[in-house]
A and B are shown apart, each in its own frame.
Chain A
């Protein structure tokens, strides 16, 4: 099993390197470079040459890639073209805001999804089960901003309970911050809940047809005991996998939801950087988002290997 775990971790690392190379290539080898983006209309050949020399753009691509990756590992992502400030100093506080949002949403949605999934598996075909299955199909199908604006329309505009814009300022207490981000967190929870719930229910029901479950029923155990004590441990692996996948999805879903609530997070920063074509900032944001996603997926796969008793002993 140790070998399998190491193999998976190694593959994750390799993926990260491949992604960083792809990222770098995509933003560097395509037509148009930072020098042209900087100069815009005033690009004369001499000016372009000077800027390229100053930024080290005249060096071969692989050398620039190694330089960039080396800096990135140390937390140095270069200087933003639009603001002239170091990218890391801009990105870090934004990243903190985004992680707060994603963390709160995960803390609420994961227990809720697994709990409701177990409940609807226990009462398969019941009122709750059918309600949950229709509602989850609805939330999977609709765009995130639709959910976000409906919540704004109801809770911020009609009822006036919560602010419609998630403004975070330095002087706010923790409770004030929670109030400010209640609506974006709620939107994120709704968006990721359904998928996790459906998969939890499906994994449980898939186990329910196994012979040992029938045995448990024949022993005279109640359905809820069978589901919780006998089916749930055996369905743990796929549930863990789908939870991790959705945590990764939180990182992406957050980009759109930050835009709905004008929330100062890393997603907004990246979108702004894309519309300003601020390449160093885009590279840094892209790398951070992609790395978070890859690390989560790798951890999920490793957990699946770890929780599978059949893989516990070396073959």
Chain B
């Protein structure tokens, strides 16, 4: 279905995302210092020794950036997996079951959706404390509600088609019908949703980190790096802008790529 070369903007987006992923994967080889080494003064400017200067405790910002990307992106990937599997499974089940089961499930999800995610997450974190597993579980469940809505609405269109009815008449169980008949037909929109969901989750984790409630120090994390270095901006040092820009580049790159993919799969 792909016709022609993607536009320059999309190619640039894919290149930016690949560059970030590659840098983060190879962190131990390209980082000039370790994640938590004190290697200089506070907020030193850009130099040959410190490619992006140093942070509020004199740690190398470039090294923190590539290691921080590992933590932030790693947590975001696991959380996205939780959200997509949970939300996808529930959404497909509801669409396949229909009737009162679908009604009850959808109403419960509606209640969950009627509170802003950040507020819900703050409530849960205040009780359970902020640790990586709690973050993954909380955000995973909250975002699963959003995935549920998408998965259910696309699966409902598939669930009423003839080949699904045939499978049911053939005597296949609900698990077979969901995984072998419905799932393959809703995979493309679910993949697009996964990409967009990953962006939201990454922004979410970064925002929590920025508020001091995400991945906890001394581990590097793009959100908490912005927080730690926020004061530097008043001295015209742009330390907090680098991690923020890294997040922006990654999410913008993924959004642009998904936009292009969606446009193409619709045959536009």
Contacts and interface: CB of A to CB of B under 8 A. Distances in A.
Closest 10 CB pairs of A and B: A142-B248, A146-B244, A141-B252, A252-B116, A274-B126, A141-B251, A290-B115, A141-B255, A30-B127, A289-B119
Contacts of A150: 241
Interface of A: 15, 18-19, 22-23, 26-27, 30, 32, 134, 137-138, 140-146, 149-150, 152-153, 157-158, 164, 248-249, 251-252, 255-256, 259-260, 270-271, 273-275, 277, 279, 282, 286, 289-290, 293-294, 297
A143 B203 contact: yes
Nearest to A140: B255
Interface stretch (B43-51, B82-90, B157-165, B226-234): B226-234
B237 to A, nearest CB: 9
A259 B116 contact: no
A132 to B, nearest CB: 15
Given A137-B259, A153-B241, A143 B247 contact: yes
B111 A22 contact: yes
Contacts of B259: 137
Interface string B50-89: 0000000000000000000000000000000000000000
Contacts of B233: 149, 152-153, 157, 164
Contacts of B206: 143
Contacts of A18: 111
A149 B236 contact: no
A298 to B, nearest CB: 9
B256 A137 contact: yes
Given A141-B199, A270-B119, A294-B114, 19 more contacts: A15-B110, A19-B115, A26-B127, A30-B128, A137-B256, A140-B255, A141-B248, A142-B247, A145-B207, A145-B226, A146-B247, A149-B241, A164-B233, A256-B210, A270-B122, A275-B212, A282-B122, A286-B122, A293-B115
B115 A256 contact: no
Contacts of A157: 233-234, 236
Contact of A286 (B123, B213, B241, B245): B123
A27 B127 contact: yes
Nearest to A12: B114
Given A146-B248, A252-B116, A23 B255 contact: no
A22 B241 CA distance: 38
Nearest to A146: B244
B210 A15 contact: no
A289 B116 contact: yes
A171 B248 CA distance: 39
A293 B114 contact: yes
Interface of B: 9, 110-111, 114-119, 122-128, 199, 203, 206-207, 210-213, 223, 226, 230, 233-234, 236, 238, 240-241, 244-245, 247-248, 251-252, 255-256, 259
Given A137-B252, A146-B245, A26 B118 contact: no
A145 B123 contact: no
Given A141-B199, A146-B248, A15 B118 contact: no
Nearest to A157: B236
A282 B123 contact: yes
Contacts of B111: 15, 18-19, 22
A239 to B, nearest CB: 21
Given A143-B247, A256-B207, A271 B212 contact: yes
A144 B126 contact: no
A255 B255 contact: no
Contacts of A26: 123-124, 127
Nearest to A21: B111
Nearest to B227: A259
B126 A279 contact: yes
A144 B199 CA distance: 13
A286 to B, nearest CB: 5
B212 to A, nearest CB: 6
A50 to B, nearest CB: 23
A289 B199 CA distance: 24
Contacts of B128: 30
Contacts of A251: 116
Nearest to B118: A252
B247 A273 contact: no
B266 to A, nearest CB: 14
Contacts of A260: 230
A275 to B, nearest CB: 6
Contacts of B240: 145, 149
A143 B244 contact: yes
A290 B226 CA distance: 27
A138 B199 CA distance: 13
Given A145-B210, A289-B116, A158 B241 contact: no
Given A277-B126, A297-B114, A142 B251 contact: yes
A148 to B, nearest CB: 9
Quick one: which of A27, A141, A144 has the most chain B CB within 10 A? A141
A203 B118 CA distance: 28
A293 to B, nearest CB: 5
